[in-house]
Amino acid sequence: MQMTFVALTIAGSDSGGGAGIQADLKTFQELGVYGTSALTAVTAQNTLGVHGVYPLKASEVEKQICAVMDDFPVTAIKTGMLFSVDIIRKVVHTLKHYQAQALIIDPVMIAKGGASLLQNEAIQALKEELLPLASIITPNIPEAELLAGMKITTAHDIERAAEILLETGVDAVVMKGGHLDNQDFAEDLFMSSNGRKFKLRSERIHTKDTHGTGCTFSAAITASMAKGKSMEEAVMIAKDYIHVAIKEGLHLGNGHGPTNHWAYQSYKGSIKEVVLLD
Ligand SMILES: Nc1ncnc2c1ncn2[C@@H]1O[C@H](COP(=O)(O)OP(=O)(O)O)[C@@H](O)[C@H]1O
Ligand SMILES: Cc1ncc(COP(=O)(O)OP(=O)(O)O)c(N)n1
């Protein structure tokens, strides 16, 4: 009998379906993993922006996590939008109880349109209480700046910020390069506490349809880790997955459209635009 792998995402809902819980579940499904979820907040959102944020009570988030963890053989957990100190503390408490095999933290803070998805006072709790539990964290550049407490402009800054983040106790950091001002490449840096370091470079796709790229990338890492892949393999697969999802964009909506979550399975060419740089 074929084994069914299960992942859990703890994140916010994006009514437009490009980011958040919806992106995570689509990505899990496409990578052959059964997806479960615990909602932290509902957002009224489309490709033009976030029009409303409605957080759940921390106890309601806890109930969902327990309902999933008490019944399903979850092998990897991802967190996305956590919104408040209360929710972060409850998630930390609950995750410590269940001792996740693999925990992937996407430290979601601000949506591309500028809407706040994490309250300012929650940044410290995220850093000090949640990050130490993580297998991998996947900050984009603005998130890494806030967490590491430094401005990032050069390749040296990126490495220094990754080193600072490793000091929080995480096993590995992926510094996502989507926000860097490089017209040719989108380059991510992987660094782990056991000294492994590499970059994944892909051709930069010139499109406005990049809504949910971060959620989709970290969900792809989570799916592979749920299947038992190493952190390094999972990150490489995720880079291929997000590259193809952006490249084969669906061009939906009037703003920043979603990526194409189903492109990876049917992509016929080899994904040679993504290269590993040691
Ligand atoms: N225009 C692009 N072309 C190719 N890859 C991209 C592009 N924008 C982002 N990526 C990739 O998508 C992933 C998510 O990165 P990023 O956009 O920085 O995250 P976030 O959505 O959290 O801000 C990374 O692997 C990054 O390199
Ligand atoms: C509900 C929800 N969660 C997370 C995000 C942020 O998603 P991200 O992948 O960082 O993409 P952008 O919003 O920056 O395009 C979100 N928007 N909504």
SS (H, E, C) 204-245: CCCCCCCECHHHHHHHHHHHHHHCCCCHHHHHHHHHHHHHHH
Ligand 2 mutation pick, 13, 14, 241, max ligand atoms within 8 A of CB: 14
277 falls within a domain: no
Q: Is the ipTM of this complex over 0.95?
A: yes
* E strand or H helix at 27: helix 20-30
Contact 268, 197 (CB under 8 A): no
pTM of the model: 0.97
8-50 pLDDT, tens digit each: 999 999 999 999 999 999 999 999 999 999 999 999 999 999 9
Residue 127 among the catalytic residues: no
273 falls within a domain: no
CATH code of 160's domain: 3.40.1190.20
Residue 131 CA to its chain's centroid (Å): 13
Instruction: Name the residue among 58, 217, 25, 223 with its Cα closest to residue 125.
Output: 58
Helices then strands, counting H and E runs in the chain, come out as 9, 10
Instruction: Name the residue among 143, 200, 190, 185 with its Cα closest to residue 166.
Output: 190
Residue 114 among the catalytic residues: no
* Domains: count for the chain: 1
Residue 213 among the catalytic residues: yes
255 falls within a domain: yes
Ligand 2: lining residues by beta carbon, under 6 Å: 11-14, 19-20, 43, 45, 80-81, 108, 111-112, 117, 211-215
Q: Provide the domain limits for residue 19.
A: 6-266
Ligand 2 atom closest to the CA of 50, numbered from 1 = 17
Contact 135, 99 (CB under 8 A): no
Q: What is the mean pLDDT of residues 149-157?
A: 95
